Amino acid sequence: MLYSQMSKEQLIAEQQDLQAAYQAFQQKKLCLDMSRGKPGADQLDLSNEILNAVAAPNYKTENGTDARNYGGLDGIDEMKRLFSEIFGMPAEDIIIGENSSLHMMFDAIAQAVSRGLGGERPWATLEHVKFLCPAPGYDRHFGVTEYFGIENITVPMTETGPDMDIVEELVKDPMVKGIWCVPKYSNPDGITYSDETVRRMAALQPAAKDFRIMWDNAYIVHHLYGKDEPLLCLYTECKKRGTEDMVLMFASTSKITHPGSGVAAMAASNKNIALIKKRMSYQTIGPDKVNQLRHARMFKNLADVQAHMEKHAKLMRPKFETVLTALDSRLAPRGIGRWHRPNGGYFISYYAPHGCAKRIVQLCKDAGLTLTPAGATYPYGKDPDDSNIRIAPTYPPVSELQTAMELFCIAARLAAIEKLLS
Ligand SMILES: Cc1ncc(COP(=O)(O)O)c(C=O)c1O
């Protein structure tokens, strides 16, 4: 029965049953974690061959470069070719980074802040610089701009991407310098931007000449059901309109091989690539080419990556389905909350009835289940509706996940009843 249709007496009876079940969980002294989007140990094992992919005396790249030595600022040819296929961009528009795309994003923002972009004034010399943050979104994106003292402006996410009416309005402000985007299997909603959203993004005419779209394609090949949810190429759309300098695109192998020792990459216009390479020439004498070579030996082309991702998906599907089955069977019949069924990525976003998210996370914590803090998916950790909770199903084994979701659903029901009775 829907909670909204229950009488006060029925709700109180239901609450008493749930409290008993909740206390039983507390006595189990659980220690469960669904907080961060980390691959499970079985997923890491899929890439173990990479640990031995480069060994003496085979440490030369295909053009004869000794991968052990300095040099090769923007990456080895075979890695550029691989990311060129992944991004659908020419290899000359690509820079291979170190082990983290977030690091590359941080550096790009740091450069804009300290040195400026395209002859515009460094953002550090300006008052009230702002950045658009489609939310719920990735907390670490918001953390980067917050770190640099940039004001994060929340833009609501819709089923088709950021609310573009609002984005188009906000970019008329010359102090709005950019937007964070996770366009495919977004973190945390798992939605892919529609063609219309991508086209409107490409057609933006921001007042700031140094406006940048931070296009973080972290989940570009991370399909759950073997089927790619198509995403229009923003760069191609920008090219048609002459706006390609507005875009910086990022991806990495973090959730393809081993996060922490993967390979990151970015793709951008010639102008942006030249500017970034110039900065890099001061930053480093060359990246970890040995690690690039390991990856290039494991994946000769995109088809190899796709076959590998199917192995990940096989391990991940039961976990996503465990979460969705629990939500469908325990929460849907009570009419509490909503969620999206993602076709890829790493997360499921649960939208609790307004005002319940913090309470759910607290109840879970008190019974031994760690979730991403409520509000973390919004700038400054403030969800105006106190509703969104990011569920990360990949790290715990299925058996733990089942227990965790049982507890989660009890907490969600308790919080919803408390709200209705208050
Ligand atoms: C949207 C998004 N971007 C970037 C990252 C981190 O990527 P990397 O390991 O390449 O820094 C994550 C990790 O969860 C993510 O969800």
Instruction: Name 110's Cβ contacts closer than 8 Å, sequence gap at least 6.
Output: 148
pTM: 0.97
- 217 inside domain: yes
Q: Are residues 65 and 153 in the same domain?
A: yes
CA–centroid distance, residue 102 to ligand 1 (Å): 6
Looking from the CA of residue 186, the nearest atom of ligand 1 is: 1
For residue 167, the domain's CATH number is 3.40.640.10
Q: Does one domain contain both 291 and 310?
A: no
d(CA 408, CA 406): 5
Q: What is the C-alpha separation between 260 and 389, in angstroms, rounded?
A: 25
- Structure confidence at residue 118 (pLDDT): 87
Centre of ligand 1 to C-alpha 422, Å, is 39
Residue 346 tokens read as 């790493």
Ligand 1 site-directed mutation target among 86, 193, 216, 291, most atoms within 8 Å of CB: 216
pLDDT < 70 stretches in the chain: none
Residues 140 and 24 in one domain: no
Q: What is the pLDDT of residue 272?
A: 97
Q: What is the predicted pLDDT for the residue at 36?
A: 84
Residues near ligand 1 with C-beta < 6 Å?
Answer: 37, 100-102, 138, 182, 187, 216, 218, 252, 254, 259, 264
For residue 347, give the ligand 1 atom closest to its CA.
16
**Judgement on whether residues 167 and 265 belong to the same structural domain of the protein:** yes
Residues in the chain: 422
Distance in Å, CA 139 to ligand 1 centroid: 10
Residue where one domain finishes, among candidates 301, 329, 345: 301
Q: What percent of the chain has pLDDT over 90?
A: 98
Nearest CA to ligand 1 atom 12: 218
Tell me how many domains the chain contains.
Answer: 2
Residues 296 and 321 in one domain: no
Which residues span the domain enclosing 261? 54-301
Pairing, β 130-135 against β 176-181? parallel
Please report the atom of ligand 1 found closest to the CA of residue 101. 10
| Burial track 340-355 (b if 16+ CB lie within 10 A, e otherwise) | bebbbbbbbbbbbbee
Task: Say what the pLDDT of residue 362 is.
Answer: 98
Q: How far is CA 165 from the centre of its chain?
A: 23
Residue found by looking up tokens 């010399």 in the block: 125
Domain-located, residue 30: yes
For residues 364 and 245, state if they share a domain.
no
119 burial (CB, 10 Å; 0-12 / 13-18 / 19+) is exposed
Residue with the two structure tokens 């970890």 = 288
List the CATH number of the domain containing 367.
3.90.1150.10
Are β-strands 130-135 and 338-339 bridged in parallel, bridged antiparallel, or unpaired? unpaired
Domain edge (last residue) among 301, 316, 341 = 301
The full DSSP string for 350-389 is EEPSTT-HHHHHHHHHHTTEEEPPTTTTSGGG--TTS-EE
What tens digit of pLDDT does each residue of 278-287 get? 999 999 999 9
One-letter identity of residue 28: K
Indicate the helix (H) or strand (E) that contains 131: strand 130-135
- Locate the ligand 1 atom nearest the alpha carbon of residue 346 and give its number: 16
105 CA: nearest ligand 1 atom: 11
Residue to substitute in 221, 252, 263, 395 for testing ligand 1 pocket (most ligand atoms within 8 angstroms of CB)? 252
Q: Indicate the top mutation candidate among 83, 102, 184, 266 to test ligand 1's pocket, ranked by most ligand atoms within 8 A of CB.
A: 102
Please check whether residue 49 lies inside any domain of the structure: no
Residue 162 pairs in a beta bridge with: 157
- The residues near 4 (Cβ < 8 Å, ≥ 6 apart) are 335, 420
